[in-house]
Structure 1
Amino acid sequence: MNIIKEKDSTKDILTQLRGKMLQNSNKISTNFPHFTEGNHYSYRNDGFWTTGFWPALNLLAYQYYKDDLFLKTFQDCSNHLIKLLDREDILDHDIGFIYIPTFLGHYKLFGDAQSKEIALKAADMLKNRFNSKGKFIRAWNDWEDDTADFREEKKGKVIIDSLMNIPLLFWASEQTKNDDYFIVAKEHAETVMNYIVREDFSTYHTFNFDHVTGTPKKGKTQQGYADESCWSRGQAWGIYGFALVYQYTKEVKFLEMSMKLADYFIERLPEDSVPSWDFDAVENNNIKDSSAAAIAASGLLLVSELEKSEKERYYLKALEIINSLCSEYLSCESDFEALLRKGCSDLPRGAGIESGIIYGDYFFLEALVKLNNVKSFFER
């Protein structure tokens, strides 16, 4: 495997990955990968939050490679995503993860009117989750195995991942000239900044509010090590998400927050620049999360574009992370379906540990193609 010394080297990596991704498109087709079990992806075809990343990966691959098979796979998966829009019991605040890199991405590429309409419908569903008392977008719906207490708690729960979903609202505001979308997105981002980010610029995974009064209660984790620990993928979502909010609002406080979260992330990185699943984990602290590294790298590339005075520092750190992923975590072998090894989906629940993960693959490919002047579907 070639080691990236400068961004042009990524073209060699992308060339090596093309054949594998074409093979996967043929094999996986209209299934929806989640994480690998053994060498092969397990599927979640039930509208899970990761549903959009497989068609999105193919659309992103088409954007770079121009192979028609990638576009066909995206189109073949689209019908399932369209039908999901009738399932408000399934779709939650992660609707942005499903429809931003798919239909919004398709609209950006082709100007397709149907894709625009679908993305706007998804934006309406996201906006309708806004709690005006607490100024937050409710994260999760009810799940079958919920306890009564957890079901009640979720009515007032916000999670840091949400920052990656609200670009859908900012975009919808621009398209419709309706400020309501913008106001909801901005107020939600401010709530995340005020309550999920701690004083040392580490982050909670989730924060609970009283859903009736909007009163803040406390921070908690769902996938991190402990309530007061720093889950590395959540920190990566924060880096990328606040930078996206700045792109749309141009309010410097959001870019500054992205940079502070980035500095915390960078300072806690180990020698190989790929973090443990949780920066503060005492148990299983040797378990890596390559998906957190990929998300952070793509976010850092955006920060380096937005903050000119720190451009070189964040850009070079992104390259360093990508270099490590390419040299130690990448799999070009056809028998292992994921692009990246050693992701960690949900360690507390024993799910997807040291596995390939579809969103890790997506943001890894996104970082690579961004280095070759291909724009992210999440970015303005």
Structure 2
Amino acid sequence: MIALVCIAVVGVSCKNLDKKEVATAEASQTPETPSFDLKSAIADVDSQLEISVPKLTDLTKHPRLIETNETEWKEVNNHKLVWTSGFYPGILWYAYEVTGKDKWKEEAIKRTEVFENFKNITEHHDIGFMMYPAYGLGYEIGGKEEYKDILLTSANSLASRFNPKVGTIRSWSNKMHPRWQQHITIIDNMLNLELLFWAAKHGGDQKFYDIAVTHAETTMKNHFRPDYTSWHVLEYDSINGNILNHHTKQGFSDDSRWSRGQAWGVYGYTMVYKETKDKKFLDFAQKITDKYLELLPEDMVPCWDFDVAQDPNEEKDASAAAIVASALLDLSIMVESKEDQERYYNAAIKMLSSLASSNYSGVGKADSFLLHSTGAKSLGHEIDVALIYADYYYIEALSRLQKMQTQ
């Protein structure tokens, strides 16, 4: 086991950041030409995995978070109701891709194949989050063609939750979330559509594509305010599809702008355009992206909710920044105008530079790639911690940037 030097993790609030490092970096470049040391960032994630992977030996569990001021991952059971199980194997698949090291592929296979039975989950929508980063990347990056049937079965399980009277895939179980009695759809669900699109392209039923598009259209119509900010939870009448409530679970209030919710939207609609090439989705992706960028602070990492960002005691959410940075790299090569291409690319690079800086990096402080994420402050947990999905979208962004620089 590789020893880790323990350094106290200092919380990062929405206002009182140490901007010295950012200012020094920006002084040597113009705002139009941001720089990012991708090679160094990849070396950092590789070295962090060298530290953490030997500690994570229980195949019945996966790393979920590192608590504030702690250094090692807290593991949780690979249970069918725990939505984060796919991110750790996904990280390992991306680590194999960006470093070329076979040992990360071997570890990814081992960590992926422990939850094959999750392909039959129909209790909730998160099967996409659980199966695509693991089995999908295993197929795409690892060449594991035997994962195809598992992914197709998983897509069918997800599609079973689609309600044509509403036009969306039902998200949570009402038993798990008794506040809502009928059909619930959360903005996070946009990410699960990736599994359906993949299945439709790899021998699955046409219904997978049709359900994904319908869900995206319905969400685009109902889930966003006139200013292009997102609600978290919509409750629909299960029979007639009417909207019953606009709520939140993880945001500050029902009417507030939860930053990771907006990030899920940015990523989701960028992905939907990538899969459909329907310009209405590109136009919408740009509108909600531009709103997100408009609300960001100087260091490009949002507060956990945009509506509490003026309070210096409120925590940041690096996971939202990682999600959007990854999405923006894709968006930058899809938009038509050179100005938009540069604008989105530069924003992504600035986000990655901030995340890799000492303000947010876990290097030398903890086993994670990133610190200072907030999972669910409104629920009283995962506040100013490292989160496994923040690391996943961060290394995905590194992978995307590496491909862009080598093409």
TM-score, normalised via structure 1 length: 0.91
Letter in 2 for 1:94: D
Does residue 1:62 correspond to 2:90, yes or no?
A: no
Aligned to 1:53: 87
Cα RMSD (Å): 2.1
Q: How many angstroms does 1:9 deviate by?
A: 1.5
**Letter of the aligned partner of 1:50 in structure 2?**
T
Residue 264 of structure 1 is matched in structure 2 by 291
Aligned counterpart in structure 1 of residue 150 of structure 2, from 99, 118, 132? 118
In structure 2, how many angstroms separate the alpha carbons of the residues matched to 1:67 and 1:248? 30
Partner residue, 2:302:
275
In the TM superposition, residue 305 of structure 1 has moved relative to its aligned partner by 0.9
Is it true that 1:343 corresponds to 2:373 in the alignment?
yes
Q: Distance in 1 between matches of 2:277 and 2:379?
A: 39
For 1:76-87, list aligned pairs within 5 A: 76-87=110-121
Q: Does 1:188 align with 2:219?
A: no
Asked if 1:36 is matched to 2:63, the reply is no
Distance 1:86 1:369, change over 3 A: closer
Q: Is the 8 A contact 1:64 1:374 kept in 2?
A: no
Q: Does residue 1:136 correspond to 2:168, yes or no?
A: yes
Structure number with greater CO (CA < 8 Å, separation at least 6) is 2
Contact 2:97 2:399 in 1 (8 A): no
Code of the residue aligned with 1:73 in structure 2: it is E
**In the alignment, does 2:389 pair up with 1:355?**
no
Instruction: Determine which of 350, 368, 371 is the counterpart of 2:398.
Output: 368
Cα shift at 1:77: 1.8
- The match for 1:204 among 231, 235, 238 is 231
Q: CA deviation at 1:296?
A: 0.8
Q: Please say if residues 133 and 213 of structure 1, whose CA atoms lie closer than 8 Å, have aligned partners that are also in contact.
A: yes
- Residues in 1 aligned to 2:401 and 2:332: alpha-carbon distance in whole angstroms: 12
Matched, 1:220 2:247: yes
Amino acid aligned to 1:330: S
Q: Kindly indicate whether the alpha-carbon contact (under 8 Å) linking 2:72 and 2:367 is maintained by their aligned counterparts in 1.
A: yes
Q: Name the TM-score, length of structure 2 as normaliser.
A: 0.85
Task: Sort the Cα spacing of 1:103 and 1:7 in 2 relative to 1 into closer, same or farther, 3 A.
Answer: farther
What is the CA deviation profile of residues 275-310 of structure 1, one whole-angstrom value per residue up to 9, with x for unaligned ones? 000001276763100000110111111110100311
Q: In the superposition, relative to structure 1, how do residues 369 and 78 fare at CA in structure 2: closer, same or farther (>3 Å)?
A: closer
Once residues 142 and 90 of structure 2 are traced to their aligned partners in structure 1, the CA distance between those partners, rounded to angstroms, is 14
Q: Separation in 1 of the partners of 2:157 and 2:404?
A: 29
**Alignment partners' CA distance in 1, 2:376 and 2:304:** 9
Contact 2:184 2:234 in 1 (8 A): yes
CA distance in 2, matches of 1:366, 1:374: 12
* 1-structure distance, mates of 2:223, 2:385: 28
Q: Given the alignment, which residue of 18, 39, 63 partners 1:11?
A: 39
Q: Which residue of 2 aligns with 1:93?
A: 125
Return the alpha-carbon distance in structure 2 between the equivalents of residues 178 and 352 of structure 1.
38
Find 1:330's aligned residue among 361, 364, 379: 361
Percent of aligned positions with the same letter in both sequences?
Answer: 33
Question: How far does residue 78 in structure 1 lie from its aligned partner after superposition?
Answer: 2.3
1:217 partner SS: strand
Alignment check: 8 A CA contact 1:158 1:208 kept: yes
2:49 counterpart (4, 21, 30): 21
Q: Deviation above 3 Å: which 4+ runs of structure 1?
A: 1-8, 86-89, 282-285
Task: Kindly indicate whether residue 330 of structure 2 is the aligned counterpart of residue 302 of structure 1.
Answer: yes
- The CA deviation at 1:69 is 2.4
User: Counterparts of 1:316 and 1:78 in 2: how far apart (Å)?
Assistant: 34
CA 285–298 in structure 1, closer or farther in 2 if over 3 Å, else same: farther
Amino acid at match of 1:105: L
Pick closer, same or farther for the CA change 1:110–1:34 going to 2, 3 Å: closer
Aligned to 1:165, the other structure's residue is in SS state helix
**Alpha-carbon distance in structure 2 between the residues aligned to 1:373 and 1:14:** 13
